[in-house]
């Protein structure tokens, strides 16, 4: 993952690539802390700011049939657009991340680019989503598969969850 930051505090421009261990070094008052705080804020909030759009027909199919299959490769093709929108949304949140006036961030730009070769489908993923006493649906991706299976675990007639909540949770 490559990170580019412009006009953040004393930092006019920085570009760095994350590895297993990334060390940012430099003289005093050169923006190292700004860069690392911005990166931490991004990594801490990325799951809430990256919006992957699930089509309405897929949500309706889930509610009608009780199961949908999502091809994750379809979303990998959209990764540049998804990441760009997420970085824009994150840049708008920098005043909250740094607990500072918005005026200080009016010219700030924060960008992340991903190497598509590093996106892997090797791992298995399984999660159940629900409330305190009811499981509502499950998400399962088998090892080495590019397909995510979303299964409704409650009776369709009892589902009173707005489509927008389903879409953002999946």
Q: What is the pLDDT of residues 35-62, one digit of tens each?
A: 999 999 999 999 888 888 888 899 889 9
What are 94-145's pLDDT values in tens digits?
999 999 999 999 999 999 999 888 888 888 999 998 877 888 889 999 998 9
166 within 8 A of 62, measured Cβ to Cβ: yes
- Residue 135 has a pLDDT of 86
- Residue 158 has a pLDDT of 66
- Residue 120 has a pLDDT of 84
- Residue 126 has a pLDDT of 94
Above 70 in pLDDT, residue 63?
A: yes
Of the segments 46-55, 72-81, 87-96, which one has the largest average pLDDT value? Answer: 87-96
The CA–CA distances, whole Å, from 27 to 11, 30, 39, 99 equal 12, 6, 19, 24
> Using CA atoms, how far apart are residues 37 and 54, in angstroms rounded to an integer?
31
The CA–CA distances, whole Å, from 129 to 110, 138, 151, 159 equal 32, 6, 10, 13
- Residue 155 has a pLDDT of 76
Distance of CA 106 to the CA centre of its chain: 23
Torsion angle in degrees (nearest 10) through CA of 90, 91, 95, 97: 40
Question: Considering the entire predicted model, what is its pTM?
Answer: 0.78
Whole-number average pLDDT of the chain = 90
- Residue 130 has a pLDDT of 83
Q: Is 107 exposed, middle or buried (0-12, 13-18, 19+ CB in 10 A)?
A: exposed
What are 8-32's pLDDT values in tens digits?
999 999 999 999 999 999 999 999 9
Helix, strand or coil for residue 110?
Answer: strand
- Residue 161 has a pLDDT of 72
């Amino acid at each position: 993952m490559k990170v580019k930051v412009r006009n953040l505090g004393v930092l006019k421009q920085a570009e760095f690539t994350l590895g297993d261990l990334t060390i940012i070094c430099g003289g005093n008052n050169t923006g190292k802390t700004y860069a690392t705080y911005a990166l931490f804020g991004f990594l801490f909030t990325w799951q809430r700011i990256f919006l992957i759009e699930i089509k309405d027909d897929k949500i309706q199919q889930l509610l009608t049939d009780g199961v949908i299959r999502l091809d994750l490769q379809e979303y990998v093709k959209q990764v540049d657009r998804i990441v760009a929108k997420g970085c824009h949304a994150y840049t708008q949140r920098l005043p909250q991340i740094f607990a500072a006036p918005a005026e200080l961030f009016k010219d700030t730009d924060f960008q992340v680019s991903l190497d598509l070769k590093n996106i892997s489908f090797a791992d298995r993923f399984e999660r159940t989503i629900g409330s305190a006493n009811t499981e509502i649906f499950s998400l399962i991706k088998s090892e080495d598969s590019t397909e995510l299976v979303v299964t409704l675990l409650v009776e369709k007639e009892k589902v009173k969850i707005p489509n927008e909540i389903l879409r953002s949770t999946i």
